[in-house]
Amino acid sequence: MQKRISWDELCIAGTVLYGLRSTCMNYKIGAVFFNPNKKLILCGGYNGAPSGSEHCLDTECFKKKNGISVSSGSGQCAGTHAEINAIGNAAKHGINISNSVIYCSYSPCWACAKQLVNLGITEFVYRFCYHDDYIRVSNLFNESGINIRSISINGIVARTIYEALHEEMKF
């Protein structure tokens, strides 16, 4: 008998699917807000250019124009992070995401972490670590009573995603 996947597995798999909507040439990041009391995915988002703007996939990476490559934390990226995109989607549609859990492809950058603290999330769950800000973000979350933890995709979830998307994304 096949067991059902857990809510953790469902939500972290959702980040992979949202990431496929990304318009960034370098990262495919997705975020999903989840209400654990209602067992309900509230909304999601992905990284990329703001609505109505040119997408890097259609032009070129803003950070690499004119042959000049700048670091991720430079502030030169034209994209919006997946967490902020998801918050905007919730606000646009009147969805309350305070006191929720956010699942994301990567641990948050410093700027996103501060917004998430102000939002009042209870937990941040991620697959990959964004090392640049991790210690500072972890300290902020600990001070704010927000749990932060990593999760991996295994078993049936990993196989299903891989089989469905192996041509589109490398795991």
Q: pTM for this structure?
A: 0.88
Band of residue 171 on the pLDDT scale cut at 50, 70, 90: very low
Task: Convert the pLDDT of each residue in 73-86 to its tens digit.
Answer: 566 777 899 999 99
At which residue do the structure tokens 């999903």 appear? 32
Task: Convert the pLDDT of each residue in 140-156 to its tens digit.
Answer: 999 999 999 999 887 77
At which residue do the structure tokens 């800000």 appear? 133
Task: Tell me, letter by letter, the H, E, C secondary structure of 45-106.
Answer: EECECCCCCCCCCCCCCHHHHHHCCCCHHHCCCCCECHHHHHHHHHHHCCCCCCCCEEEEEE
pLDDT of res. 5: 87
pLDDT of res. 54: 80
Beta bridge pairs of residue 99: none
Task: Convert the pLDDT of each residue in 15-65 to its tens digit.
Answer: 999 999 998 888 899 999 999 999 999 999 999 988 888 888 788 777 776
Q: Kindly state the tokens that stand for 103.
A: 């699942």
Task: Convert the pLDDT of each residue in 92-120 to its tens digit.
Answer: 999 999 999 999 999 999 999 999 999 99
Mean pLDDT of the region 156-170: 64
At which residue do the structure tokens 């109505």 appear? 52
pLDDT of res. 154: 77
Return the DSSP state at 2.
P
pLDDT of res. 170: 44
